[in-house]
Amino acid sequence: MTSTFTTRPVRLGTRPSPMAMEQTAHFAELFRSRHPGICLEIVTIVSEGDRHRDPLSQTDGKGAFTRSADTRLLDGRVEATISCAKDLPSPHDRAPDITVGAVLPREDARDVLVLPSGHSPATLADLPPGTRVGTSAPRRAALLRTLYPELEPVAIRGNADSRLSGLDSGTLGVDVMIAALAGLRRLGLAERASQILDPTQWLPASGAGVIVIEHRSDDPTTANLLAPLTHHPTRIVLDAERAALATLHGDCLTAASVHAVHDPAAESVTVHAVVLDPAGGTPIRTIASGPDTHPARTGRRAGKQLLNAGAAALLGNPS
């Protein structure tokens, strides 16, 4: 560690939403425990995704929750930023001067069905035809059209807490909504989950449940501070998932899922990947396995297998 960081705080950029602040507080505790002599200063940054309420697909959604933080990181106003991995642009869209420095242990990657407060417990299969199901994710909308075509996906926006408030008050414009279980747990609201969706059918988002801290690529001091805080099994699966998504030229607005599983006993990583038909048609699936020493290579192979099977047509990419 250099004297620079014993006299100047490390500034960490984060969104000001309740969920973002909770995950930031968790990381800050880890950082201060590991580096008790270094001041970590929290800098709140309102993202474009927070300012705009239109569907992300209408607001250049790639990086909508990270662009403002990236700008401050690259111009030196902060030394690091913290984000949900699923909100990061895919590596092919990422600024080359930004590097993932720490990856926290993966939380539960599953999605859940959330009902208005006071509603009797129900599952997606219990809901009557025409039920309006709120989601901001094309992946979730495509899954609804594929698995529950009688239900109506409706685009919604807002932070998790504001969505819950709108759902309960009837102002969100939907009857029920889909949310991330990890996010509800961070807010202490896991009991709001009426149904935890089976991840073998309802596929998780790429990077779901993973928190990452990034820094400038030319800043080895911050890199050295962050590296000891990385949870290596999670880094393995995240590298595999993001490599597959990059091969597909996908992002958080892509109707696709890449979910990797690490087997430490076998020293391997297995990538489950699917590209969904936004109209609800038959998805294209694949599985690839390889050594955990080269997770990105396995992820790229999974992505290529999907493209070879015709996934480009569903993605809207040229073949």
**Active site members:** 87
CB 160 within 8 A of CB 140: no
CB 163 within 8 A of CB 189: no
CA angle 146, 151, 152 (to 5 degrees): 100
| Amino acid making up residue 121 | P
- The alpha carbon of residue 175 and the mean position of all alpha carbons in its chain are separated, in whole angstroms, by 24
Could you give the angle at which helices 295-308 and 232-247 cross, rounded to 10 degrees? 30
CB 43 within 8 A of CB 13: yes
| Amino acid making up residue 196 | I
Tokens 């998932």 sit at which residue?
A: 241
CB 297 within 8 A of CB 290: yes
Cα separations in angstroms, 290 against 70, 164, 248: 33, 40, 19
Nearest to 143 by CA among 314, 278, 305: 278
